[in-house]
Amino acid sequence: MNYSISYRKRLCLTWIYRGIVRNRFIAGCLLMTVLIATLYIHLNRSYTNSISFQIQEINKRKTHISNISNIIVVIDDEQHANNLQPIYCNLHRKTENVSTHVIVTGRGISGKELIKSNSLLPNCDITVYDLELQKSIFVNENFLTSIFKGISGILNQIQPDVLIYINDFKNEAMRAVDAALVSASQTNNTITKIALPLEHAKYMMWLTDLSIEALKNWNTPNIQIQVITQNRPSSLIRLMQSLGSSIYFGDDVHLTINIDRSADPITVNYCQTFEWNFGQKSVRYRIKQGGLINAVVESYYPATNDEYAIILEDDIE
């Protein structure tokens, strides 16, 4: 009997002890979660407030300048920085009333690293905002949401006229930039989007020679290519290969091939099967032989004042 009572007491004490230990463990986990969440919120507010203060200070220094336009360049990694740095440095040197800003996500390159790199170049003391995502990101926080919030906050404060970034849908940071632009457009903020393919950015230095008004209308022109052909398949093939290897900076370019009535079967078949990867392709056939002048005149009718065409004969290579 004594043994049974003692055993029950020990068993009861054991369960009580286990309950205390288990509750302490749960309490410890809850406390740790609260501490981590508090730290995340504090860090997130810290860098957000830091960026807001940075923007306010810049705006104070520019109060004496009227009608100033703002350009923002978004960078996610070193590859973006290497390709876009010559562009934003040249934009920063423009003499007109244009202020250029750079946003880095902090994932691939930090703001300090970019500022140091800019300091090695002449007249490239550009303003850099660092979202510091690597430092402040919470374990379960979605990168897309974090970048979207950071970009949207800066867009709302600066209200830029032009936003330049790399066009890469596989990159979640660039997808967040697209989402932020859509959100900004819903609040009547008119921001011109210039999304450059990474492989074409090195050919874009001429962009910096454009005026701010031209940059604002970057997406306004609609370019078409009109090709006129008859019975010169060899030169036509060389022309089409040249067009296919050209750089169109990510724009959609409508290609129309105008085939004269007397075209040979090789030319007709080539035009029908030619693949155009830069936009829509159309093939037109003349019912009646018209000659070169008529073919050129009738090949293109602009739909708006912002539509332009490049008319090429098949012997132009």
pLDDT tens digit sequence for 269-292? 999 999 999 999 999 988 777 666
- Residue at 163 is within a domain: yes
User: Is the pLDDT score of 11 beyond 60?
Assistant: no
Work out the average pLDDT over 59-65. 53
Return d(Cα 97, Cα 307) in angstroms, integer: 29
User: Are the C-beta atoms of 289 and 261 separated by less than 8 Å?
Assistant: yes
Note whether 77 and 212 are same-domain residues: yes
Can you give the pLDDT at residue 265?
92
Note whether 96 and 208 are same-domain residues: yes
Please name every residue paired with 283 in a beta bridge, in sequence order, or none if there are none: 257
User: Is the pLDDT score of 170 beyond 90?
Assistant: no
Share of the chain above pLDDT 90, in %: 48
52 vs 305, which has greater pLDDT?
305
- Residue at 120 is within a domain: yes
Return d(Cα 109, Cα 201) in angstroms, integer: 18
Return d(Cα 132, Cα 125) in angstroms, integer: 20
Last residue of a domain, one of 167, 182, 216: 216
pTM of the model: 0.75
In this structure, what token pair is assigned to residue 303? Answer: 């739909």
Note whether 227 and 172 are same-domain residues: no
- Residue at 208 is within a domain: yes
- Residue at 62 is within a domain: no
Note whether 50 and 93 are same-domain residues: no
Note whether 113 and 178 are same-domain residues: yes
Note whether 185 and 265 are same-domain residues: no
Can you give the pLDDT at residue 28?
60
Last residue of a domain, one of 216, 239, 261: 216
- Residue at 1 is within a domain: no
Note whether 112 and 190 are same-domain residues: yes
Query: How far is the CA of 181 from the CAs of 75, 111, 142, 250, 251, in angstroms?
Result: 15, 22, 19, 18, 18
Q: How many domains does the chain have?
A: 3
Q: What is the DSSP letter of 300?
A: -
Note whether 207 and 289 are same-domain residues: no
Note whether 205 and 251 are same-domain residues: no
**Cβ neighbours around 302 below 10 Å, total:** 11
Last residue of a domain, one of 216, 243, 259: 216
- Residue at 266 is within a domain: yes
User: Is the pLDDT score of 2 beyond 50?
Assistant: no
Confidence label for 317 from pLDDT (cuts 50, 70 and 90): low
Note whether 75 and 191 are same-domain residues: yes
Note whether 75 and 183 are same-domain residues: yes
Note whether 263 and 146 are same-domain residues: no
- Residue at 2 is within a domain: no
Can you give the pLDDT at residue 18?
56
Range of the domain at 138: 68-216
74-128 pLDDT, tens digit per residue, is 999 999 999 999 999 999 987 678 899 999 998 889 999 999 999 999 989 999 9
- Residue at 115 is within a domain: yes
118-155 pLDDT, tens digit per residue, is 999 998 999 999 998 875 555 445 778 888 899 999 99
Tell me what the pLDDT averaged over the chain comes to. 81
Share of the chain above pLDDT 70, in %: 74
51 vs 266, which has greater pLDDT?
266
Domain containing 90 — which CATH number?
Answer: 3.40.50.2000
191-241 pLDDT, tens digit per residue, is 999 999 999 999 999 999 999 999 999 999 999 999 999 888 999 999 999
Instruction: Say which residues have a Cβ less than 8 Å from residue 109's Cβ, sequence separation at least 6.
Output: 75, 77, 78, 80, 81
